[in-house]
């Protein structure tokens, strides 16, 4: 019985595309990030969680030029507190919580994220987050999210119906398995 339900699920998902972007991305927010660590992809509606030890924060700059130059002019602080650590004065107050979760948003494009602490951006503590618009994250249960993308060749109403059916059937099947 479960097998036939699974086959029906696969039939409904015909036309749904996969992506290499994730719904939820974990970032080890540190100095000396490698080139591969500095570029991530996340789906619309997903999250990026930055985790760190020591004195850091999470901020967003307006554009690629500012990102490359580590120009923090007009940067928007995303984590709890601004960068108030001064290496020269040896004031070692904690800047923010050691975890910050950023919502990727609902529009495609790149977001330019940096650490504002003096010298940290120049020490490659920065990342480009690419939000993919052709895919989105949908939570079926509190702890389980799925990424679905309906093929763009179909009409909008067909896409919405296929997505609704896919999510409904997925939730049903998960309850049957338990």
Greater confidence (56 vs 82) lies with: 56
Burial 157-167 (b: 16+ CB within 10 A, else e): eebeebbeebe
Q: What is the pLDDT of residue 80?
A: 73
Taken in order of first residue, the domains within the chain and their CATH numbers are 15-133 (2.60.40.420)
Q: Are 137 and 145 in contact (CB under 8 A)?
A: yes
Q: What is the pLDDT of residue 62?
A: 96
Q: What is the pLDDT of residue 34?
A: 97
Q: For tokens 């660590």, what's the residue?
A: 37
Under the banding of pLDDT at 50, 70 and 90, the label for residue 107 is: confident
Question: What is the C-alpha R_g of the chain?
Answer: 20
Q: What is the pLDDT of residue 105?
A: 83
Torsion over CA: 112, 118, 121, 122 (sign): positive
Q: Whole-angstrom Cα distance, residue 39 to residue 9?
A: 34
Greater confidence (152 vs 18) lies with: 18
- Digit-coded pLDDT (tens) for 27-64: 999 999 999 999 999 998 899 999 998 889 999 999 99
- Digit-coded pLDDT (tens) for 131-169: 998 656 665 544 445 555 443 333 444 445 555 555 655
Among residues 1, 22, 5, the alpha carbon closest in space to that of 13 is found at 5
Mean pLDDT of 121-137: 87
Among residues 163, 166, 162, 60, the alpha carbon closest in space to that of 115 is found at 60
Q: What is the pLDDT of residue 114?
A: 98
Under the banding of pLDDT at 50, 70 and 90, the label for residue 106 is: confident
Q: How many residues are present in the chain?
A: 178
Q: What is the pLDDT of residue 89?
A: 46
pTM tops 0.95, yes or no: no
Across the chain, mean pLDDT equals 73
């Amino acid at each position: 019985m479960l097998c036939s339900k699974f086959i029906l699920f696969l039939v409904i998902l015909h036309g749904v595309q996969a992506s290499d972007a994730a719904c939820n991305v974990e970032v080890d927010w540190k100095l000396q990030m490698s080139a591969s660590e500095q570029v991530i992809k996340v789906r619309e509606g997903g999250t990026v969680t930055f985790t760190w030890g020591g004195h850091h924060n999470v901020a967003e700059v307006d554009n690629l030029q500012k990102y490359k130059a580590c120009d923090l002019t007009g940067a928007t602080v995303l984590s709890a507190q601004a960068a108030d650590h001064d290496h020269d004065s040896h004031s070692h107050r904690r800047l923010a919580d050691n975890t910050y979760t950023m919502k990727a948003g609902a529009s495609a494009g790149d977001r330019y994220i940096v650490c504002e602490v003096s010298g940290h951006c120049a020490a490659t503590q920065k990342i480009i987050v690419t939000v993919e618009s052709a895919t989105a994250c949908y939570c079926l249960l509190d702890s389980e999210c799925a990424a679905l993308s309906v093929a763009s060749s179909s009409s909008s109403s067909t896409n919405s119906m296929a997505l609704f059916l896919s999510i409904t059937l997925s939730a049903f099947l998960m309850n049957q398995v338990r």
